[in-house]
Amino acid sequence: MQLDSSRAKQIADNRKKLKPIIKTIILCGCQELALRGTNDSGPLTLNSIEPVYNDGNFRALLRMRLSCGDKDLIEHIEGQSLNAMYISPIIQNNIIQICGKMIQEQIVSRINKSKYFSILMDETTDISRIEQLSLCVRYIDSNEQNGNPVYIMREDFLQFVQVHSTTGNDLATVMLECLEELKIDCTYLVGQGYDGAAAMSGSFKGVQAIIREKHPAALYVHCSAHSLNLALAHCCNVQSVRNCIGTIKSVAIFIKMSAKRTDILQNKIKEHAPDNKWKKLTTMCETRWVENHDGLIRFTEIFKPIVETLEELQVVKDIETSSKAIQLHRAIMTSDFIISMLTATTLFAYTLPLCRILQTVNIDLFSATEHVDTVLSQLKSMRDNIDQVFSNIFEKAEKLLKSIDAQEHIQIPRIVARQKNRSNIMVASPEEHFRITVAIPFLDEFIHQLTERFAKHKKSLSSIHCLLPNVCVVHKVELEDLSLYKQFLDYDTLAAELDLWRQKWKQLSAVDRPKNAIETISECNQCIYPNIYILLKILATLPVSTATPERSFQP
């Protein structure tokens, strides 16, 4: 007994001494601070002076703890030999790994408690040229608050996995092995969220196809944010808009490459638009259309300072700078560029909120398709009233030219007998010309791409969305529509549940009904509607985007 008591006391003392070290490492992790510096070695004593070299945040924070009188740490430093300080890089890594393991175990525990989950996956090559696979999960977490369950949608990062082959079969094998090692029950895997790469989305040899062979209920959903980006990229293949975006990118790069040019632009902004929040240009990105929209808005709002910056750079002594400035100035002063810029800015304004909301965690797949339908409805309305819509854009273009004291108005490009590389139609006015050659093709392609890209997302819902209150009162759910999830359900009672569920919501007005899957789960009594409760959890769990695994790659 005395030996056990002595050993327990020693364990407690050792833990007390390690706590300051562990807390310091956790603090660095929470604040995303690198632990080590140029030289992370040597003794750490009570009377040690500041090192001449940077020995890292971890040791600096320990010294601060000592100087502030941390008794546990002081006792540890005084009572231990130099080779038993437990602050070496190896110990740091061990503690980090233990912390990671504990967090991972908590996530796995929540997943298995929830049962139903979707896998989110993306891969990239890191700075050391190693292929890394980011594995994340989407599931519903539930807690009790005042005796009532509270449901939270979660998308959690599980781990990075090094891969040596990126074929669909190898990636699927790695993913399933990781889930098995983590002791996650793949029986309840109901969704897969990846990008549209062939290795991921292929119908025969892609990851999703191989996973579905083993887990048929694991529905594949192409990342909605990627689908929107692809739709926007393809609608910008309209020649005038493509050239406009390319020119904006060239101007931004040209000015940002030189501190002198950037300084000239900032001075022009202070002179002509001192209250404008944009103080510099941003480069256009091939895939991130949130950034592209910001770039278009910036360019439009500080158009006059940009024009005057390029005019000033035309007369500098450097031949390369002056000639490039002349070329870019001529390009942005054309009627085609100005109309295309304002048309794109006007239409992209409707997709910017959509692009942002599709990357949030709380949105479910049905809500995502509803938001897309709302944007589509607005774009179709604009197409039906294109004359008035474009008249407003054309008026803005005239005002923009007037604001930069341009002598010319919007003009029709030269009409020739034969033209292959641009629009060459006979029209009565510049407004009609650009409406026919820029606005209508751009808007038509915009509508077509959004409709086509998100058709599969609606199909993926497989009528399960008809369980939502505002939908079930209009559309009756048929049992065969839910056959994909038959293994999770009691089909003997499902038909009766569906009838009761529909009757329940018919008694309430549309205003009083929950709008999305998470809200509906909170109103679903698990004892009365056990099958519907399961189906609603599956609906909420279906993947919407792969923003979470993509964010895991960011520094």
pLDDT by residue (tens digit) across 370-402? 999 999 999 999 999 999 999 999 999 999 888
Of the two residues 275 and 58, the one the predictor is more confident about is: 58
pLDDT tier at 459, thresholds 50, 70, 90: confident
The three-class DSSP label of residue 149 is strand
Alpha helical stretches, state H, 88-162:
89-114
Q: Judge whether residue 17 has pLDDT over 70.
A: yes
Complete edge-to-edge strand list for the sheet that includes strand 117-125: 148-162, 131-145, 117-125, 189-194, 219-222
| Span of 108-122, 194-208, 278-292, 440-454 with lowest mean pLDDT | 278-292
The pLDDT of 310-321, averaged and rounded, is 91
Exposed, middle or buried: residue 198 (CB in 10 Å: 0-12, 13-18, 19+)? exposed
Pairing between β-strand 117-125 and β-strand 131-145 as defined by DSSP bridges: antiparallel
421 — pLDDT class (breaks 50, 70, 90): low
pLDDT of residue 105: 95
Position 237 pLDDT exceeds 70: yes
* CA separation for the pair 20, 27 (Å, rounded): 10
Q: What value does the mean pLDDT take over residues 73-96?
A: 84
Where does the pLDDT of residue 460 fall: very low under 50, low under 70, confident under 90, or very high at 90 and above?
confident
The torsion of the CA quartet 300, 303, 304, 305, rounded to 10 degrees, works out to 120
Mean pLDDT of 34-52: 75
List, as one string, the DSSP characters of 285-337.
-SS-HHHHHHHHHHHHHTHHHHHHHHHHHTTSS-HHHHHHHHHHHHHHTSHHH
User: Which residue, 353, 273, 345, 351, is CA-closest to 309?
Assistant: 273
Kindly list the distances between the CA atom of residue 276 and the CA atoms of 268, 273, 282, 402, 493, in Å, as whole numbers in the listed order. 12, 5, 15, 19, 63
Beta bridge partners of 122: 134
What is the pLDDT, as a whole number, of residue 414? 56
Which of the residue ranges 40-54, 77-91, 223-237, 453-467 would you say has the lowest mean pLDDT? 40-54
Q: Which residues of 23-33 are buried (b: 16+ CB within 10 A; e: fewer)?
A: ebbeebeeeee
Residue-level pLDDT at 322 = 93
Residue with tokens 């231990």: 80
Is the pLDDT reported for residue 476 higher than 70? yes
Average pLDDT, integer, range 469-485 = 88
Count of other CB atoms within 10 angstroms of residue 7: 10
Residue 293: pLDDT band (50, 70, 90) is confident
Mean pLDDT of the chain: 87
Angstrom distance (rounded) from CA 485 to CA 507? 28
Give the pLDDT score at 124. 80
User: Residue 71 has which token pair?
Assistant: 């008794």
Q: Which two tokens stand for residue 169?
A: 């079969």
Q: Which two tokens stand for residue 98?
A: 């233990």
Q: Are 224 and 457 in contact (CB under 8 A)?
A: yes
Q: Does domain 103-225 have CATH number 2.40.160?
A: no
Predicted pLDDT of residue 373: 95
pLDDT of res. 238: 86
Considering Cα of 315, then 320, then 323, then 326, what sign does the dihedral take? negative
Confidence of residue 487 (pLDDT cuts 50, 70, 90): very high
Residue 372 has a pLDDT of 95
For 81, list phi and psi in degrees, rounded to 5.
-75, 165
Each domain of the chain, given as residue ranges in start order, spans 2-87, 103-225, 230-455, 459-541
- Torsion angle in degrees (nearest 10) through CA of 306, 309, 311, 314: -130
The first and second tokens of residue 470, run together, are 């505002």
- Calculate mean pLDDT across residues 66-78: 84
Q: What is the reported pLDDT for 97?
A: 94
* Whether the predicted pLDDT of 415 surpasses 60: no
Banded pLDDT at 152 (limits 50, 70, 90): very high
What average pLDDT does range 539-555 have in this prediction? 87
Calculate mean pLDDT across residues 138-160.
89
**Which of 45-49, 90-94, 144-148, 456-460 is the most confident on average?**
90-94
Is the pLDDT at 404 greater than 90, yes or no?
no
